[in-house]
Amino acid sequence: MASVLRFRKLCYVESAVKCTSVGYESFEIDEKLDKKEEDVLSANNFALEINKKRKQPKRQPKEWRCLDSCCWIIGYLCTTWWLLLFFYHCFPVTLLRVPELPGPGVRLKLEGLTALHPVVLVPGIVTGGLELWEGRPCADGLFRKRLWGGGSFTQIFKRPLCLLEHLSLHYETGLDPQGIRVRAVPGLVGADYFAPGYFVWAVLIENLAKIGYEGKNLHMAAYDWRLSFQNTEIRDHALTRLKSKIELMYISNGYKKVVAVPHSMGVIYFLHFLKWVETPPPMGGGGGPGWCAKHIKAVMNIGPAFLGVPKAVSNLFSAEGKDVSYIRAMAPGVFNSEILGLQTFERVMRMARTWDSIVSLLPKGGEVIWGNMDRSPEEGHVCDFSKKSHSKTSLTTNNVNNSDLKRGFLVKDLANYGRIISFGKPASILHSSKLPTSDSKVFSRTSTSENFNNFSCGEAWTEYDEMSRQSIQNVAADKAYTTTTLLDLLRFVAPKMMRRAEAHFSHGIAENLDDPKYNHYKYWSNPLETKLSDAPDMEIYCMYGVGIPTERSYVYKLSPNSRCKSIPYQIDNSVHGEDGSCLKGGVYFADGDESVPVLSAGFMCAKGWRGRTRFNPSGIATYIREYRHKPPTSLMEGRGIESGSHVDIMGNFALIEDIMRVASGATGDEIGGDQIHSDIIKMSERINLGL
């Protein structure tokens, strides 16, 4: 029995070994077959993939979306910010510190100059601070906080729509909307800095303090720059308070006359004041005919916008200028995005068109001053931006030096500056005989057609929403507009705004200044429609920068965006002239301080008021003081001490010295008389204005 079991066990083991060996051999065979099959399959798959790739169309490049543009801008700003932080922390502080040069105040104090005449500073548009006194629920926590100027711009990012609502005025009255009161920030702090580190009046104030100026003999005439000039008196009694302050300073400073220093739009605001103060009440201040002769020594106008600025045209017409147009070209989808719903330009236009002050800056004098379709005072003047020279020249008494500036502002070909708006480049170049004439029917609204957009778009944001598409296209139609037809154009596209604003401002030329109609306040801020005071001992200065390309006229196009609540026109930033041309990015440039052309800043002192004229019957002495722009040589120099730019000139040491010497008792002849670098004399001679 045991042997049988032993035999069976042996057989079982032997069979198991055989089975195992056989299984192992078959596994090796199967593995070889699988590898061959895999090789065949992989080869087939590879061939199929190649065929698919050959048949598959090439992937189209990803379409650039408005969101991409927005992300690109945010990334760019963040990168720039982090680079600045990196350089700030990595470099020694001594390399980053701007060298502090002794200002003119220190030097003039050593020369023995002291405060003599009281000084009144008059800020211009935008640069003065505004604070909230009453507002909507969205402005909770902002009582007496700055909504504008002085570092308040964080509110733009926190609650932008609320800020725009509170900065807007009533569209029909030009005064406060119901439940909102925004007022000018009083005192020197109201306009010393526009934003932290960005000075406006601060440098001048500091230098005046070096020779003894302080609160008793230095005053900032703050006012709400959004309002029409007469409305600052109606609502805030700003003109009455200015009159009282000047009279007080005159008495308390030993009966010394006041030196007024207005800037930009503040220049025509103070011109309005000079007429108001001598006009009998209730329209005027009741100071009498001799008030200015008794109280004012000199008016030293900085960056004067006497005859308006073309920038106001583009602002009211399309809520843009050269800088905004450039940003729009860099990121075309961001501001007009339907997805983001920003509608930035529409919201800005809606607010700006409630500000009567912008209408005060429209060009004055029509075609006589600014030129017609084929002629302008700047004839033969064209820019060469690539060959600017900023070498300093020595100036002597009554020095008129044009050659230095021409080296940096060369002439190459002609520009029709008289066409302040042209639709398409050909309309800005061709002779007027080849252009369609502006038919009066274009500027007539019909009730049946003009309600089309309003019916389909709901509430009107701007007056463009009340125009038919046909009317919008008729305005463009290869046409060009001068400063005369421009007013008709604005009355057509924004009739409500112009009716409200033209009750306060006029832009013509008076034929007979003795006509009683010119006693109305709407003419007082236009130097071509009012007389200067009978104050023969008073002096008037026109002080401005030159040598900077300044916006003069524009090439427009119809906006590609035709949706509701959109602006139908925009500057055509794709239009450029030849090398050395004044046409860049849809804007024609002329000489000026980057905001005000030389023509507007200097004409009244060069010709309109020079000597005894019908605009200056008492022969008040006028002086032109031009400051050729010299930019800082490096970023480390900040905004420079020889800048001629419209705002940066407030830190120009030469200008500050001129103001301080006059405030200390000097006359215009004693500080050097006229100082001219531009072609303002030649421009003035080309203007045929009866004096």
569-571 and 539-546 beta bridge pairing: unpaired
Burial class (CB within 10 angstroms; exposed 0-12, middle 13-18, buried 19+) of 332: middle
Tokens of 275: 């007429």
CA-to-CA dists, residue 638 to 192, 291, 371, angstroms: 17, 42, 38
Pair 258, 246: CB distance under 8 Å: yes
510 phi, psi to nearest 5 deg: -75, 135
Catalytic residue among 224, 593, 648, 679: 593
Please give the angle made by the CA atoms of 176, 315 and 124, to the nearest 5 degrees: 60
Please give the angle made by the CA atoms of 223, 639 and 204, to the nearest 5 degrees: 45
Catalytic residue among 646, 664, 677, 678: 646
304 phi, psi to nearest 5 deg: -70, 130
Amino acid identity of residue 7, one-letter, is F
**Is residue 593 among the annotated active site residues?**
yes
The alpha carbon of residue 68 and the mean position of all alpha carbons in its chain are separated, in whole angstroms, by 27
CA-to-CA dists, residue 117 to 215, 218, 252, angstroms: 13, 9, 11
Q: What is the spatial distance between Cα 675 and Cα 626, in angstroms, rounded to a whole number?
A: 6
Tokens of 530: 């009012």
Q: Tell me the three-class secondary structure of 27-43, residue by residue.
A: HHHHHHHHHHHHHHHHH
The alpha carbon of residue 590 and the mean position of all alpha carbons in its chain are separated, in whole angstroms, by 16
**Is residue 600 among the annotated active site residues?**
no
**Is residue 264 among the annotated active site residues?**
yes
Query: Would you tell me how many other CB atoms lie within 10 Å of the CB of residue 503?
Result: 15
Catalytic residue among 264, 337, 525, 559: 264
Pair 615, 455: CB distance under 8 Å: no
- Residues labelled as active-site residues: 264, 593, 646
